[in-house]
Structure 1
Amino acid sequence: MTVIKSIILAGGSGTRLWPLSREMYPKQFLKFGNTSLFQETVLRCLDISDISEIFVVTNEAQKFFVIGQIEEIGYSIPPENVLIEPEGKNTLPAIFFGMRIIENKYGRSVVGIFSSDHVLDRAAMQTIASAEYLASDYLVTFGVVPVFPHTGYGYIKPSEACGPGYRVSEFREKPNRETAEKYIQEGCLWNSGMFLFDTELFFDEVKKYAPSVFTCFENGNDINEIYSCVDKISVDYGIMEKSYRVAVVKLEQKWSDLGNFAAIYDEFEKDPVGNVVHECDPLMLNSDGNLVYSSCGKLVSLIDVKDMVIVDTSDALLVCPKSSSQKVKDIVSTLKDRNDERAYIGQTVYRPWGTYTLLEVSPEHKIKNITVLPDHKLSLQLHYHRSEHWVVVKGMACVEVSGQQFFLRPGGVLLSVQVKNTDCPIREKFRLRLLKCS
């Protein structure tokens, strides 16, 4: 058993990297290479915690992402370690939820708190682990030494030294550029949103400075009841900015919260004229400093374009200056006001059993490409206003219609579009299960 346990906060609304991220597919599960931000977070936590000592706070809709992506990197998290919030109530209730579970299981513990969508040099975990003994006396946070006057981060002003860290003088809100430059001159640090908490001290400080949160968790019988009454409040506002027992430990390693497309641009390798290109091969004339992402196979051509973000997906196109990329969330807000489902899902939708991609839509029909994971199955369905016609092109499937089961497998020429098919009529219960891939 290791000394430090870990909590990964894996909620998210998918607004800041839209249209790549959506509410049902937030940025921590995006893959810009072989692994997602969430998977990288899990791998870092394994440097200080056993897989059985990692707890993930998420929601029901994203539970299958959490379990599936951990399995992709070769680990199996205990199901009881995936903690489901009934609704998002910001970071303090989410952390309290995890801390209470850990204390009930292990007793008094030191717990690292990590966001699931940050980029962090793995060497930083050594610095985090070295602050373990400091957590018995202080609520420990980690401040990143700034490399430029960032206006998208909060700042922490350290004061006198205490062990490997410093007492916190004050937390400061996101500044304008001039103020950010002043903060850096004063020795302020970027607020990373990572913490190291002793369970006993944490509960004491919550009881003192956020008593309504403490009372809801102490008096509630189950998590649904607790979340129906608990306040929506951040851990910074709830306790960190109020407590006198707060210390900050400096991190000199590379860190980013990838909070917008400008941060994505800064993170990735650039061509000789400063363009970042992902998943496409654009044609560019006199164009530099751009972020170009296209996942739909179209040729992207740029002429005299500078310092722009171009993100093209199958159902949405975003074009904006890099300097305005923090405003993307306003587009998502407008889509939600219009009840536009593109705020929530893309054309490819992820489900516990696999994915489906919407290929064609009209008032009379829909065509979907459905991919079912081996040994997974769709939920039992019944439609009153449409029938479904399935074509199996790969793998062997078990189809259940009105309680009867039969099997479909590919046959004939694999390139043939219609290999095997079945009809699911109106008002008949049906579902599909993939037995194996061919």
Structure 2
Amino acid sequence: MINIVLCGGSGSRLWPLSRKLYPKQFYEFFQGESLFEKTLKRNSKLCSKTIIVTNSEQYDLALNQINNIDIQNNSFILEPIGRNTTAAVTLACLTLEEDDIVLVTPSDHLIMNEEEYSRVLNKAETLARKGYLVTFGIKPDSPDTNYGYIEACGNDALSFKEKPDEKTAWMYLEKGNYYWNSGMFVFKVGAFIDELKIYASHIHKLADEALKNAKTHKPLRIELEDMLQIPSISLDYSIMEKSKKLKVIPSDIGWADLGSFEVLYENLKQDKDSNCILSDGVILENSYNNLIISKDRTIAAIDVDNLIVVDTEDALLISEKGRSYKVKEIIDKLKLHKENIVKNHIITYRPWGHFKTLEEGYRFKVKKISVKPGGRLSLQKHFHRSEHWTIASGIARVTLEDKESILSSNDSIYIPLGKIHRVENCGKVELVIIETQIGDYLEEDDIVRIEDDYERVK
């Protein structure tokens, strides 16, 4: 079985933790582990290969996290722009053989009962080998209006239902044969392609053309103009709601789609006062039922109840629990006045480590660059800026044109505009560099990559 991991989206309902270039599946909610990492580790026990379909802007972040875990035999398909799940799944399937069995999973779902998960996957694989398209219906434990529903009779899927109002959701719960739509599927590639040709033949044709035009070096990169030609439509709408070959497996696997802070609160550990705290620096006095998330700042709360407090280095969200769905309205306002805070965190992740912008102003920017042991940046140059590097800690091997230097703590070097350069952590501990950029343009796209260990372009 081959796992196709869908890793797009921005997770905007979890802002300011989740942002366009750092969506919720990459945030380390679980003792330093992300939903993306948990998905790959869980499915790698059951699948021989992993194909990750993600936005090209999130590739560095995904690659960074894969390097943290022991996942073998993985590959990427990079989309320049998201076109929903039909496009993503079709692109992945067209790279496989017709007899391959695939497990399609989002990367941002939590599954607590892995033993039961393995059991239902085995049942799904049996049905898939008979030519069925199989989905998983999650047994609902509440009349939740945030999910779509599947009406079933045994393993037969009778209908798909849109997100209902509360009255309708109660009716679904009472009837007992309605399940939350998990968005996970198992099928044989050939069976899927056959259904695709019946119900969405234009998507099959356009995706096939996009793959023929894609850059063939790893990772596989789809061209923007080809991606834009593919209609943006979900797999449910394009095929699953129409197919006569669909089966559903009722599943009680401890599943949760962490799509809001309220759902996150319910699925994380709470203390004796029903507070969920993701921070070492929170002090509470007579406070109950709160979700408080912070990285470094000390937070003190007195006589507060039922609040969501999410603190990052550049943004603070405070909401009454049960009202955080309104964060989308906040994001719409931020896009008009401060769009970058919706897109980026102060910390930007790369396969070799990460960097943090400390200060910026007219014609200058100061960064803290952290490189993992053995990691090295691309061999590169800039057209619009020069750089001054000071080693704060660790040992660096610096290439500047045709010369190499070994630098350690308190050493510095000047990188003139237009000169080819590279830095590598040749020590056994993290390398930390303070970089000062000077120039008339200081954005990240002023990088020309000559060589790159991680096969990135530009």
Correspondence 1:182-193 to 2 at 5 A: 182-187=171-176, 188-193=178-183
Q: Is the 8 A contact 2:64 2:349 kept in 1?
A: no
Q: Is the 8 A contact 1:280 1:293 kept in 2?
A: no
The Cα of 1:5 is off from its aligned counterpart by 1.9
Q: Which residue of 2 aligns with 1:279?
A: 279
- Local SS of the residue matching 2:281: coil
- Local SS of the residue matching 1:349: strand
Residues 31-86 of structure 1: CA deviation (Å, up to 9, x unaligned) = 12132111111122123212xx22111122222333332332223334xx212223
Residues 1:72 and 2:64 aligned together = no
- Local SS of the residue matching 1:170: strand
The Cα of 1:383 is off from its aligned counterpart by 5.0
| Amino acid in the other structure paired with 1:206 | L
| Amino acid in the other structure paired with 2:51 | F
Q: Is the 8 A contact 1:378 1:433 kept in 2?
A: no
Residues 383-430 of structure 1: CA deviation (Å, up to 9, x unaligned) = 53x5432210222212334544322123xxxxxxxx111223455454
Larger displacement relative to structure 2 (142-151 or 208-217): 208-217
The Cα of 1:130 is off from its aligned counterpart by 1.6
In percent, how many aligned pairs have the same letter?
Answer: 35
When normalised by structure 2's length, the TM-score is 0.85
Q: Is the 8 A contact 1:13 1:23 kept in 2?
A: yes
Distance change (3 Å), C-alpha of 1:18 and 1:387: same
The Cα of 1:367 is off from its aligned counterpart by 2.5
Q: Which residue of 1 aligns with 2:114?
A: 122
The Cα of 1:204 is off from its aligned counterpart by 1.5
| Amino acid in the other structure paired with 1:198 | K
| Amino acid in the other structure paired with 2:123 | S
- Local SS of the residue matching 1:346: coil
The Cα of 1:379 is off from its aligned counterpart by 4.9
The Cα of 1:17 is off from its aligned counterpart by 1.6
- Local SS of the residue matching 2:348: strand
Aligned mates of 2:158, 2:253 — CA distance in 1: 23
The Cα of 1:155 is off from its aligned counterpart by 0.8
Q: Which residue of 1 aligns with 2:51?
A: 55
- Local SS of the residue matching 2:3: strand
Q: Is the 8 A contact 1:358 1:369 kept in 2?
A: yes
Correspondence 1:372-391 to 2 at 5 A: 372-373=371-372, 374-382=374-382, 384=384, 386-391=385-390
Q: Which residue of 1 aligns with 2:307?
A: 308
Decide which of 159, 162, 176 is 1:173's aligned counterpart: 162
The Cα of 1:7 is off from its aligned counterpart by 0.8
Q: Which residue of 1 aligns with 2:3?
A: 6
Residues 1:86 and 2:97 aligned together = no
Aligned mates of 1:400, 1:73 — CA distance in 2: 29
The Cα of 1:359 is off from its aligned counterpart by 2.0
Aligned mates of 1:139, 1:226 — CA distance in 2: 27
The Cα of 1:219 is off from its aligned counterpart by 4.5
Aligned mates of 1:57, 1:421 — CA distance in 2: 40
Aligned mates of 2:247, 2:201 — CA distance in 1: 22
Q: Which residue of 1 aligns with 2:318?
A: 319
The Cα of 1:366 is off from its aligned counterpart by 3.0
Residues 250-281 of structure 1: CA deviation (Å, up to 9, x unaligned) = 11121001011111100111111211001233
| Amino acid in the other structure paired with 1:74 | D
- Local SS of the residue matching 2:121: helix
Distance change (3 Å), C-alpha of 1:112 and 1:228: same
Distance change (3 Å), C-alpha of 1:281 and 1:372: closer
Q: Is the 8 A contact 2:44 2:71 kept in 1?
A: no
Q: Which residue of 1 aligns with 2:19?
A: 22
| Amino acid in the other structure paired with 1:64 | D
Q: Which residue of 1 aligns with 2:394?
A: 395
- Local SS of the residue matching 1:271: coil
Larger displacement relative to structure 2 (116-125 or 364-373): 364-373
| Amino acid in the other structure paired with 1:118 | H
| Amino acid in the other structure paired with 2:9 | G
Structure 2 segments unaligned to the other structure (5+ residues): 215-222, 430-458
When normalised by structure 1's length, the TM-score is 0.88
Structure 1 segments unaligned to the other structure (5+ residues): 411-418
| Amino acid in the other structure paired with 2:424 | R
- Local SS of the residue matching 2:144: coil
Aligned mates of 1:111, 1:306 — CA distance in 2: 45
Correspondence 1:2-401 to 2 at 5 A: 4-32=1-29, 33-50=31-48, 53-78=49-74, 81-103=75-97, 107-120=98-111, 121-123=113-115, 124-135=117-128, 136-159=130-153, 161=154, 166-187=155-176, 188-220=178-210, 221-223=212-214, 224=223, 226-296=226-296, 298-338=297-337, 340-363=339-362, 365-373=364-372, 374-382=374-382, 384=384, 386-401=385-400
The Cα of 1:364 is off from its aligned counterpart by 6.0
The count of corresponding residues between Structure 1 and Structure 2 is 413
- Local SS of the residue matching 1:437: coil
The Cα of 1:339 is off from its aligned counterpart by 5.4
Aligned mates of 2:197, 2:293 — CA distance in 1: 47
- Local SS of the residue matching 1:273: coil
The Cα of 1:15 is off from its aligned counterpart by 1.6
Aligned mates of 2:273, 2:375 — CA distance in 1: 48
